[in-house]
């Protein structure tokens, strides 16, 4: 089995690392902090401690023959993902066997609740979406220049144990009125991990896969379902006009965009069977801490 190199071994990367090791792969994890690296070493993983913000401090990375998963989030600000570009530059001397880049559905244009497929226009309205699209471009350019297959996963909102909006619910932060809220999309963390492994095994160069559970609901409905499961009061709801005034720019960008993510290619081509195809099933499965 090909060795695995995971850049950004956090919430999802850690799941993929453990699943890949269980499948028989030798796994190396790249993280930012020595403390995190020590924790992973204690679990038996190989580790590389590197930060991607300063290219001068980033030596070449030897990932020759490995399957690389890239989970590192873009930096804040701007429309370019300099971390992804620095990472690609560090791979130049030792190209991997394949790259799986975990992108986001925010690269798509606003559809007003319409369906997006992998062929839909990529015209992001948010700065984060633009940074994600820039990273996709960086990995494609690297793959073309070095003959490395690149597979891109455009991932919906991730939820799972420890990844529920407990703080926002506890604070009573306002939500958009349900009747004004458009559809949003989610994927359970464990399901995303298995999609990542399937993409490495079955994906070919140029493949793009939307990743969602296929059962969209609004962010308001999502927060309400989490509040009910946690036994907490539901948050107040405001109009779109009020939301623009009282929400942070980031939160408003989340609630004001709406689309339905088509996951049929993921299910058909990758052959995955989701453990949690609906939010209700995920919450019932004992996600709550």
Tell me what the mean pLDDT of segment 50-65 comes to.
90
**DSSP bridge partners of 14:** none
Q: Is the pLDDT of residue 107 over 80?
A: yes
Q: Confidence band (pLDDT; 50, 70, 90) for 257?
A: confident
The torsion angle over the Cα atoms of residues 84, 15, 183 and 72, rounded to 10 degrees, is -10
Closest listed residue to residue 182, CA positions, set 229, 217, 133, 206: 217
Q: Is the pLDDT of residue 289 over 80?
A: no
Position 285 scores a pLDDT of 80
Q: Would you call 206 helix, strand, or coil by DSSP?
A: coil
Token pair for 95: 């190209």
pTM: 0.95
What are the structural domains of the chain? 4-163+186-215+260-284 (3.40.50.720)
Q: Confidence band (pLDDT; 50, 70, 90) for 288?
A: low
Q: Confidence band (pLDDT; 50, 70, 90) for 287?
A: low
138 Cβ contact list (under 8 Å, min separation 6): 81, 84, 85, 88
Least confidently predicted of 53-62, 69-78, 204-213: 53-62
Q: Are 227 and 172 spatial neighbours (Cβ–Cβ below 8 Å)?
A: no
**DSSP bridge partners of 46:** 28
Q: Confidence band (pLDDT; 50, 70, 90) for 77?
A: confident
Token pair for 55: 């290219």
* Mean pLDDT value across the chain: 95
What does the buried/exposed string (b/e) look like for 32-58 if buried means 16 or more CB atoms within 10 Å of the residue's CB?
beeebbebbeeeebebbebebeeeeeb
Position 251 scores a pLDDT of 86
Q: d(Cα 71, Cα 13) in Å, to the nearest integer?
A: 6
**1-19 pLDDT per residue, tens:** 899 999 999 999 999 999 9
Position 262 scores a pLDDT of 98
Position 116 scores a pLDDT of 98
Position 6 scores a pLDDT of 99
Q: Is the pLDDT of residue 98 over 90?
A: yes
**117-171 pLDDT per residue, tens:** 999 999 998 899 999 999 999 999 999 999 999 999 999 999 999 899 999 999 9
Q: Would you call 236 helix, strand, or coil by DSSP?
A: coil
**178-233 pLDDT per residue, tens:** 999 999 999 999 999 999 999 999 999 999 999 999 999 999 999 999 999 989 99
Position 286 scores a pLDDT of 64
Torsion angles phi and psi, residue 88, rounded to 5: -60, -40
Tell me what the mean pLDDT of segment 276-281 comes to.
94
Q: Would you call 283 helix, strand, or coil by DSSP?
A: helix
Q: d(Cα 110, Cα 125) in Å, to the nearest integer?
A: 7
């Amino acid at each position: 089995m090909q060795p695995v190199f995971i850049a950004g071994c956090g919430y999802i990367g850690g799941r993929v690392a453990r699943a890949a090791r269980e499948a028989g792969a030798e796994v190396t994890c790249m993280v930012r902090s020595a403390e995190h690296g020590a924790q992973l070493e204690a679990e038996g993983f190989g580790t590389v401690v590197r930060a991607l913000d300063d290219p001068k401090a980033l030596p070449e990375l030897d990932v020759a023959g490995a399957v690389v998963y890239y989970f590192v989030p873009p930096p804040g600000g701007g429309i370019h993902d300099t971390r992804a570009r620095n990472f690609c530059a560090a791979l130049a001397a030792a190209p991997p066997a394949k790259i799986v880049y975990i992108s986001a559905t925010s690269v798509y244009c606003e559809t007003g609740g319409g369906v997006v497929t992998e062929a839909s226009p990529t015209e992001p309205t948010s700065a984060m979406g633009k940074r994600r699209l820039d990273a996709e471009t960086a990995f494609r350019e690297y793959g073309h220049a070095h003959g490395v297959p690149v597979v891109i996963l455009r991932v919906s909102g991730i939820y799972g144990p420890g990844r529920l909006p407990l703080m926002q619910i506890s604070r009573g932060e306002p939500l958009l009125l349900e009747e004004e809220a458009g559809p949003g999309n989610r994927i359970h963390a464990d399901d995303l991990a298995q999609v990542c492994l399937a993409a490495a095994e079955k994906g070919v160069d140029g493949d793009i896969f939307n990743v969602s559970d296929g059962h969209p609901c609004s962010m308001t409905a999502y927060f309400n379902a989490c509040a009910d499961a946690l036994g907490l009061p539901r948050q107040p709801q405001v109009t779109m006009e009020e939301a623009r005034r009282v929400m942070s720019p980031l939160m408003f960008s989340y609630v004001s965009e709406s689309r339905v993510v088509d996951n049929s290619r993921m299910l058909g081509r990758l052959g995955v069977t989701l453990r949690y195809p609906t939010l209700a099933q995920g919450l019932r499965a004992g996600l709550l801490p």
